[in-house]
Structure 1
Amino acid sequence: MDPTARHLDGALPRRVEVLAGLSVAIDLGLGQPAEHMLRSAIIACRLADRLGLTRDQRATTYYTSLIMWIGCHADSQEYARWFGDDIAVRRDAYLVDWAGLPFLRFLLGNVARGEPLAQRLLTTAALFRDARGQLAALMHSHCLSAAALAHHLGLPPEVERAVTYTFERFDGSGLPQGCPGAAIPIEMRIAQLADTAEVHHRLFGVDAAVAMARRRSGGHFDPAVVEALLAAPGEVLADVPGSDVWTAAIAAAPDAEIRLDLAGLDLLVCAVGDFADLKCPFALGHSRGVAALAAGAGEQLGLDPSDVRSLRRAGYLHDIGRLGVSNQVWSKPGPLSASEWERVRMHPYLTDRVLSRINGLERERTYARAHHEHLDGSGYPLGIAGAALGSGERILAAAVAYQSALEPRPYRAALDAAGAARRLHERIATGQLDPECAEAVLATAGHRIPRAGREDVLTPREREVLGYVARGLSNRQIAEALVLSEKTVRNHVERTYAKIGATNRVGASLYALGHGLVTPPAGGAAA
């Protein structure tokens, strides 16, 4: 494998970059365009400065604004139960003040959205038997989830506390506790206005955002925070220079200079994977399982330790795009319609969009975005086939297939280990999965694989040498790269050629391409 194609451990992302990427995933579940939460954080910091908050309060305001809706994805199943399309109802809720008759009309118009009339009537009756109690339970669950996730991500206690007040209102009519006025942390009072004002400003302009803030002042919003906006709305809501929201938001972070070390990055991306799995109850632990299988298979196949680490991280991160698809689709017990299936096919692309913004995760992005691609081109989202899929992509696809088989789905029961192994063998037989990568996943999962007696199987060292050969390196260059003697490399090359039936470098290169032993560049065909 070409050392230049490996993940560079020295170029790890900053902590805020990973959390900013997470905020883009949160945007997906809110039905908002990418960088909504980042723009909200910038607006919140401007309001914090105008209100004279301390440096620590400003830092809490920043992260509270960035992840204030982190708990909503853990509630997606319940939202879908009451409102059908959980993403659509969250998107539309920004345009309604959650109080009085307008809010009741909003609820009536969105209960069991997209469901048959009979189901809508039943759900409406169940909700309105105790609408406030039902919603309070939902909001209470959200607040607990948000605090737990903030803690899991390593955010300060002040942020954990603030996000538990997301649904409270200044006038005390909010949920779940009905906390009034100053009982709501100032950081959340700022974040609430920044979040809603960003949407109204983006959709309708400064005047509309100002009018919305005035209408809700003293009700939803703290009048003092509203006044800070009204004093200079053009400045508070102004677009960042060059429209580079990502860079501006990263620069505004209180810890923008902190770069993660290897252990810190692994812990953070694991937490992000846990967060993604909470979208669907049946997927709890899915990302951790995939990460362990993929990393173990990579080790079995002799991948470089850096690539094994990247595979593990890709396992944690591969399903973050799932947040952009409604639980109305994920939880459907029957066959999906064409439009529903198209939404499912988009989730690896959404994963790619989230990870594309985070410097230092290029290899992880390459693996993760291809986790549903197949060797025969029948996968999604792009139908990439054969030589375009490197060994990392093939390993991750096999790990996802095996782990998913062990988990229940609304349309089938979970398979036992033997059933999951049969499923992988069936997909090998149809040409979807790479046999060697799938066998490595099965071996990692504890299945006995009859490999020892096969003389045609390449050893990890032979695979590595073949990768270099395909890249055009001479025996001497390979020897220098692997710290071996040139004679040893020559022996490896001769044995490898004999096993794969190649007689020259061209034949060896074609074999390496066909078996994913030449990893495509990180910005390859799936971009």
Structure 2
Amino acid sequence: MDSELDSGVRLADILACLSLGIDLGFGQPMEHILRQCRISMRLCDALGVDDTTRTAAYYGALLVNVGCHTDAHEQVRWFGDDIAFKSTKYVESTGKLAEVNRMLGMLGAGGHPLHRLRVGLAFALGGHREVEAMITQHAQRAQSLAEELHLPAAVLQGLAAAYERWDGKGWPGILAGPDIPTAARLFQIAEFIEVAHRDGGVPAALSIARRGAGSQFDPAVVVCLCDHPDKIFDGLDEVGSWGATLDEDPVLNALTMAQLDDALAALARYVDLKTPFTLGHTEALTQLVIDAAGRLGFSATDRRLVHRAALTSGYGRLGISNKIWEKPGPLTVSEWERVRLAPQLGARMLRQSEALGAVAPLVGQLRERLDGSGYPAGLSAGSITAPARLLAAADSYQSMIEPRPYRDALTADEAATKLRDEVRAGRLESASVDAVLGAAGHRTRRRGANIGGLTNREIEVLELAARGLPNREIARRLTVTPKTVGNHIEHIYTKIGETSRAGAALFAMRNGLVDETSAACR
């Protein structure tokens, strides 16, 4: 079975892709987590840890913050901007009290004074317990994902203790000192010294480590770091972190096709948690494109490609604040520019991976439209691939039937009408929309397989020509040239053995290629 074939993709590869989005969600540049992972591995080498600890430190470093965006909705409610809130993590802290004081300073950030007063009062009356629980749950969610990915017990144990401190003043505050798994002690200090090293070089990294020794960090790890800074930091900026991190992977086994799809689906659920408005979006989108791709007769390669593009299509959302995603009113120009970046960010993450790089163009074209009105690049029909056209149509439909902060969810019929409007306006492809609507259970044109030897594009031309539309109008609707339409009609007539519009129209009706759906194109 294909599902049991070797995919050629390692788990570390897809976790590295996702980590780039988590970086942006913390207000950090891409590859922060990859550099953190490399530092963790170098600390493992310097300390001479066993293979089990090394594996736990590696995967713990890649996953430690994966749970931190899952309650971005609540972070915005308390602190105004989830990314701004998380970016304060790397401000040096002397304990939980200092962390709480910093939170107090951000309560209701960006709101008017009365709003900040109300949020502050709610925080004092019990909200602080919710926020404490929220931080504790970040580690639990990372552990839960690791379990779903079938990672070893040592990885799960390390992630469960990801926010504990050496002095016992961390979250949830039940472990201290040597009771904290060694892997957690390593990837935790690596996270903080990566930021310090990037901002201020080796002196800054050693300084923050020394100041945290015995309180936040394991003093023995700090001593090792300070005794061997060359082993930890040399060449860290000279070699790209992507390849260097994957080269350190302690588990080199590739996933089977089924395991890869299951892992991508698990990660997608975590991505969808970023806002309540997208819960279940990726799973539903994936089911739509799988069914619709079959209806369009896609090759096995293209079906696999669009399937994985659907599973990874939301990665770029991680880099945009929920302050924007959940805004109930119109976006400002600057907010809209951020939204327009989401597909591009997702494509950038995936493009890093040799294994998933083929998916990147589809994700990058998620919001492109045939008439050039889409974003981020304003591509037109000739530059948008067939799988990308299908993904765009499916994502549009699925988004319409989900609630958004500025509107209620549309009914299925309302969404179908709007999707067909997009076809008439020349923004979405007719064949893709028909396939999506058919997959969603709507009545659509009954397309046979290879009817009369016609391609999907020729069927589109036939439907419009049969209704008497001139070549120029057909060309406008399909975003092609009139000459191309003329060539298509000539080929159509040859293939179906007709020489007139009436004959072609009769052929179309006999083969179920026109109905009230296509009549709506008039």
Which TM-score bucket, shorter chain as reference?
Answer: 0.7 to 0.9
TM-aligned CA deviation for residue 263 of structure 1: 1.6
TM-aligned CA deviation for residue 307 of structure 1: 0.6
Give the Cα separation in 2 of the matches to 1:74 and 1:495.
53
Unaligned 5+ residue runs, structure 2? 459-487, 500-522
Instruction: Show the counterpart of 1:475.
Output: none
Give the Cα separation in 1 of the matches to 2:426 and 2:456.
24
What amino acid maps onto 2:300 in structure 1?
Answer: P
What amino acid maps onto 2:317 in structure 1?
Answer: R
Instruction: Show the counterpart of 1:288.
Output: 283
Instruction: Show the counterpart of 2:445.
Output: 450
SS in 2 for 1:173: coil
TM-aligned CA deviation for residue 175 of structure 1: 1.6
TM-score (ref. length: structure 2): 0.84
SS in 2 for 1:66: helix
Q: How does 1:38-437 map to 2 (within 5 A)?
A: 38-97=34-93, 99=95, 102-130=98-126, 133-240=129-236, 242-255=238-251, 257-437=252-432
**Conservation of the 8 A alpha-carbon contact between 1:206 and 1:234:** no
Residues 307 and 186 of structure 1, relative CA distance in 2, 3 Å threshold? same
Residues 104 and 362 of structure 1, relative CA distance in 2, 3 Å threshold? closer
Give the Cα separation in 1 of the matches to 2:107 and 2:181.
31
**Conservation of the 8 A alpha-carbon contact between 1:465 and 1:493:** no
Q: Which stretch has the larger CA shift, 28-37 or 12-21?
A: 12-21
Residue 455 of structure 2, aligned match among 459, 463, 466? 463
TM-aligned CA deviation for residue 351 of structure 1: 0.3
**Conservation of the 8 A alpha-carbon contact between 1:377 and 1:386:** yes
TM-aligned CA deviation for residue 151 of structure 1: 1.7
**Conservation of the 8 A alpha-carbon contact between 1:75 and 1:279:** yes
What amino acid maps onto 1:177 in structure 2?
Answer: G
What amino acid maps onto 2:170 in structure 1?
Answer: G
What amino acid maps onto 1:89 in structure 2?
Answer: F
TM-aligned CA deviation for residue 325 of structure 1: 0.5
What amino acid maps onto 1:463 in structure 2?
Answer: T
TM-aligned CA deviation for residue 234 of structure 1: 3.0
Give the Cα separation in 2 of the matches to 1:439 and 1:460.
19
TM-aligned CA deviation for residue 14 of structure 1: 2.7
Give the Cα separation in 1 of the matches to 2:148 and 2:492.
47
Identity %: 39
Give the Cα separation in 2 of the matches to 1:98 and 1:379.
48
Q: Which stretch has the larger CA shift, 237-246 or 64-73?
A: 237-246
SS in 2 for 1:19: helix
**Conservation of the 8 A alpha-carbon contact between 1:293 and 1:444:** yes
Give the Cα separation in 2 of the matches to 1:460 and 1:248.
54
Say if 2:11 is the partner of 1:19: no
Give the Cα separation in 2 of the matches to 1:208 and 1:240.
15
TM-aligned CA deviation for residue 402 of structure 1: 0.7
**Conservation of the 8 A alpha-carbon contact between 1:165 and 1:184:** yes
TM-aligned CA deviation for residue 125 of structure 1: 2.3
Residues 445 and 437 of structure 1, relative CA distance in 2, 3 Å threshold? same
SS in 2 for 1:243: coil
What amino acid maps onto 2:455 in structure 1?
Answer: R
Greater relative CO, 1 or 2 (CA 8 Å, sep 6+): 1
TM-aligned CA deviation for residue 327 of structure 1: 1.0
TM-aligned CA deviation for residue 103 of structure 1: 3.6
Give the Cα separation in 2 of the matches to 1:460 and 1:324.
48
**Conservation of the 8 A alpha-carbon contact between 2:452 and 2:496:** no
What amino acid maps onto 1:344 in structure 2?
Answer: V
Residues 460 and 441 of structure 1, relative CA distance in 2, 3 Å threshold? farther
Give the Cα separation in 2 of the matches to 1:13 and 1:26.
20
Give the Cα separation in 2 of the matches to 1:286 and 1:500.
41
TM-aligned CA deviation for residue 46 of structure 1: 1.4
**Conservation of the 8 A alpha-carbon contact between 2:343 and 2:364:** yes
Give the Cα separation in 1 of the matches to 2:94 and 2:130.
15
What amino acid maps onto 1:66 in structure 2?
Answer: L
SS in 2 for 1:72: coil
Unaligned 5+ residue runs, structure 1? 1-8, 467-491, 504-527
TM-aligned CA deviation for residue 460 of structure 1: 10
